[in-house]
Amino acid sequence: MNLTVQEKDPAGLYDTPLLHQSYFWSQVKESQGYHTKAFDIKTPLSELNGKPGSSYVLDDILVQMIPVNRYQSIGYVPYGPVLNPDEERMGPFLEELSMSVKEKLPSQCLLLRYDLPWQSIWDDDVSLTTQNLRLNWGTNNKKLRKAVSNQLPSNTMFVNLLGSEEQILSRMHHKTRYNIRLAQRKGVEVRQVGRDHLDTFHSLYKETCERNRITSHDRSYFDALYSAEDEGAEIVLLMAFFDGQPLSAMFLSRSAHRATYLYGASSSQMRNSMSTYALQWHAIQLAKRWGCTEYDLFGVSPTVGMHHPMSGLYTFKKGFGGTIFQRMGCWDFAYDEEQASQLFAYEMVGEGYHLR
């Protein structure tokens, strides 16, 4: 094999705009009870772009071990790897990486699941069968398979933070600008709050999940966000108030040059206050003060189609002037094909949706 991997302490993970591939995220998952591993990757540049040459590329990946039962687990790579080969080399690269990592994972690891951050290489109407065939093109064992569902959002929007605040506002939809200013006129106040407001956030969050029929996380899940320390990344809790009443809240993260909207919540009361618009505008202003050049709105429907359950979220986020980015989503490389197929069948009939 030309590609090599070497295990290292997650504290040695490189700075990255992908929070989920950072040491910060490793600490969060460890606090939540998951074991994480980190690996350096060294591969010839020619393996990525097919051009002749002798230079090598160095990068790394964070792998989260997720138990399936008392004895078995899967390795989950959230928004990784960052290294992005040309389309015809994607499958062979993932196959070689998977086999290189295998001996460094627990012996009862059934598969490696990549939540690929790469831009999608196919249109929305391309069938799953065709996607599987195309990603396995050039591989030796044809073991790559689209997972039943994506763990993290595969579709997002990036807001360009370059330029002045007025220039950023000018790139927004006029109704979004109006609602931001309306919230300000109404007296909505947004401020950064501490861990002592976590109960308030979780109450709003549960209300939001019930309203949108989304499976919610326990409060302890969010407690873990305060357990991590990393100079290259951070997370803060923002909350919007009207006359002292909390109406909406969100966790905003920073990793390298990117700010990311991670978890949001809002009350069903006083929705005409437009507090969520004020909240997002405050997040954008804070991200600029951090020196970020882009803001990841983290999760939208693939199109504005009204039949999609997230179409309203698409319209809301699109108003902030973002550009849609479609990732490739979750793909599995099976180490134990029989057991992996059983897991696949189980996931097919599973209910609920969680962001890990």
**Buried b / exposed e along 174-183 (16+ C-beta atoms within 10 A):** eebbebbebb
Asked if 333 contacts 111 with a C-beta cutoff of 8 angstroms, the reply is yes
Contact 161, 292 (CB under 8 A): yes
Q: Compute the distance between CA of residue 173 and CA of residue 231 in angstroms, rounded to an integer.
A: 35
Structure tokens at 353: 């949706």
Query: Which residues is 157 bridged to in the sheet?
Result: 324
Question: What angle is formed at CA 301 by the lines to CA 298 and CA 303, rounded to 5 degrees?
Answer: 130
Task: Write out the two tokens for 75.
Answer: 């390795």
pLDDT of residue 355: 39
Rounded-to-integer distance, Cα 8 and Cα 329, Å: 26
Domains of the chain, each with CATH number or no CATH: 4-153+327-348 (3.40.630.30), 162-292 (3.40.630.30)
Distance CA 102, CA 97 (A): 9
| Phi–psi pair at 189, nearest 5 degrees | -115, 130
Distances (CA, A) of 263 to 123, 216, 280: 28, 11, 12
Q: Are 284 and 276 in contact (CB under 8 A)?
A: no
Phi, psi of 65 (to 5 degrees): -85, 120
**Is there a contact between 122 and 137 (Cβ–Cβ < 8 Å)?**
no
Residue 185 is predicted with a pLDDT of 96
Asked if residues 246 and 239 have their Cβ atoms less than 8 Å apart, the reply is yes
Quick one: 349 exposed, middle or buried, by C-beta within 10 A (0-12, 13-18, 19+)? exposed
Q: Work out the angle at residue 123's Cα, subtended by the Cα atoms of residues 117 and 127, and round it to the nearest 5 degrees.
A: 100
Q: Is the dihedral of CA 100, 104, 106, 112 positive or negative?
A: negative
Task: Tell me what pLDDT residue 308 has.
Answer: 53
For residue 75, the model assigns a pLDDT of 97
Question: Which bin fits 299, alpha (ψ -120 to 50), beta or left (φ > 0)?
Answer: left
- The CB density around residue 356, as the number of other CB atoms within 10 Å, is 15
For the chain (356 residues), the mean pLDDT of every run of 10, in chain order, is 91 95 95 96 91 89 94 96 94 96 94 96 87 93 92 93 97 97 96 96 94 87 88 92 95 96 93 94 97 92 56 85 94 92 83 40
4-8 and 35-44 strand pairing: antiparallel
Return d(Cα 190, Cα 282) in angstroms, integer. 7
